[in-house]
Amino acid sequence: MYGQVLDVLARHGFHCIRFTSDADLLEALASNLSTVVLAARSEIAAGSIRSWRACRERALPVIILSPAVGGESTVRVLDEGADDVVALAMGHDEFAARLNAVLRAYQADIPRHSISLAGFEFDVELKMAADRGRIVELTPAEFSLAWLLFSCPGTFLSRDALSMAVCGRAGDIASRTLEQHIYKLRRKLKLLPDRGVQIRMASGRGYILEIVEPFVQEARERGA
């Protein structure tokens, strides 16, 4: 599949790089080296698309390649945040035209350098975190985890997606390391219900950053 996609895009002036691991992809995204992500539908785990976007400052178009378009799997990846789902059997010119259309839609996006939510502030350039004006010292891994969670409040992020974004790998060892980072982040930022923000484990498979009253309306307005 990769060879076919590479040939089509090369003929239309695109330069492609293949990433064989999520760790390599996340590193490239963090360095703003990639313009758009093309991913096979079978490789998309819950929360992957949001974790890719949270790793970089500039907006990130995501297009999913699929043997066929339609049905529950297509709905799922679109709900996850994909911009388009393209059938591999689609004509080459149409494929390139769809890609260009998605890229045009992103030209006006403003790079994201900071997050402000429920009294918390995060600055990606300074790697600075603050709670109601109080600077909170976070390690690089803790900051990456906080940035990812606060980028998409109320969204389920799988253990694997978080582990790849924070630890650069998945698996049992990375999962245990992730749990340690979650514990320390909760303690340092005091992420508890009475603070208005908490990290909740979801079905033992991942985590959700929850905004509780009175900050729910603020979060909704910022997401509008």
Q: Could you give the domains of the chain? A: 2-106 (3.40.50.2300), 114-223 (1.10.10.10)
pLDDT tens track of the chain, all 224 residues?
Answer: 556 777 777 677 676 777 767 777 776 777 665 678 888 877 777 778 888 887 776 778 899 888 877 788 888 888 888 899 988 777 888 888 888 888 888 774 445 678 899 899 999 878 899 999 999 999 988 998 898 889 878 888 888 778 877 776 656 666 788 899 999 999 999 998 888 899 998 877 789 999 886 554 454 555 44
- Taking CA 183 as the corner, what is the angle to CA 185 and CA 191, rounded to the nearest 5 degrees? 50
Query: Which strands sit side by side in the sheet containing 62-66, from one edge to the other?
Result: 37-40, 62-66, 84-87
Which has the closest alpha carbon to 100: 32, 24, 8? 8
Please state, in angstroms and rounded to a whole number, the distance separating the CA atoms of residues 18 and 43. 14
Q: At what angle do helices 140-151 and 159-167 cross, to 10 degrees?
A: 140
If phi > 0 it is left, if psi is from -120 to 50 it is alpha, else beta; for residue 221 that is: alpha
Closest CA relative to residue 119, chosen from 223, 224, 219, 221 = 219
**Other Cβ atoms closer than 10 A to 94:** 11
Q: Which residues contact 160 (CB under 8 A, 6 or more apart)?
A: 45, 170
200: left (phi over 0), alpha (psi -120 to 50) or beta: beta
